[in-house]
Structure 1
Amino acid sequence: MTAQPAEPDELDFLSFVEYAIAETTRELPDVDPVAMRLVLTLHRLTSALVYDLESAVHRPSGWSWPGFRLLFVLWLAGPLEAKRAAQLSGMSRAAVSALVNTLERDGLVSRTPAPHDRRAVRLALTETGRRRITEAYTAHNARERTWAATLSKPERTILIGLLEKLMTGPAATEAKQRF
């Protein structure tokens, strides 16, 4: 918890958390500032981390963060039906369908009718796609290591445990049902 900047024009994306909590609790005294800090900090940090990975690794590789997510899922769990690829990558089927048009055009993904249902589409990485995602993931993991290096090994273990606890809690279980 850091000192609140005196003026809104002194804020940046991450320091806005402290300011937002102070202003919100001033306007709405019944707000839970600890819950707000937790969620706002997680959201802002995740956004900053994704932006860093996308700008440092994925855009130079020629794709967006959603493109990376889909290629990553197909690399590790594919070939998959488009519906399942959408679930595992956290995207809608429509978003995956639009994204596959680009990835297929770029020679990274192939699309074929599913064997059990010709209306369903099965997605797979091409050899070029496999080569490109493994190259990109090497750079991606180097960036992950840079971010993780801020914490000691015990701190990383504790944080992972806490995040996994949040991921298996009642709110997360409820949210997963909407995916």
Structure 2
Amino acid sequence: HSCLYFCRDGEHPSSSWTQCRLVLLLRHACTFAEVVTNWSGGFDHCVELGGLTTDVRTGDIQELLDALLPDDFVKPYIRWADENHVVLVCANVTAANSLLKIAASEGMIMRPFSEATQMSKQLPISVLLPPKDRPKTSTTVARRLMSHALGLPGMRDRKGERELAEARKQAKEDRRARQQAAEESKAAAWGDG
């Protein structure tokens, strides 16, 4: 079994980012389990990485992804299906397709989720959902939380809290207006108007 080491042009395989024991990418060691043919789909943002050995750790896969993916690429979540396969949960379908292209150009054993093994498809849906952005936290919210926790009302930013409340109120009104417009267009389409 020969390990695949991915090097940039002119770099030796022993360079720092390729030393991560890439035992996981053995060209001839992969035997994908039987593919489930009746899969209904819906997880095109996921891809399966196979051919892993029991020596491979999550950190090894993270190092590999860091080395292969551009800096602006949102790193996928790593979900283990069994000791030989992981599912990489990308932020969206475009990211998954980009990852598949990169993997194909590097000779990696990677498949779209529609062709994944049965073990991968048996993962709970909750772990296959795409990553969500963390809600934005403003300094106003942070000050309010801190002042409440510490019992120091002087820390609060009253002006910022009013602006935040107005922004939330406006967003709520906009959402209501969109819902009402959608209901009106639906009623007009059905001739109920």
TMscore range, shorter length: under 0.3
Given the two structures, how large is their TM-score scaled by the length of structure 2? 0.21
Structure whose alpha-carbon radius of gyration is higher? 2
Which is bigger in relative contact order (C-alpha 8 A, separation at least 6)? 2
Q: If each structure's helix is expressed as a fraction of its own residues, which one has the higher value?
A: 1
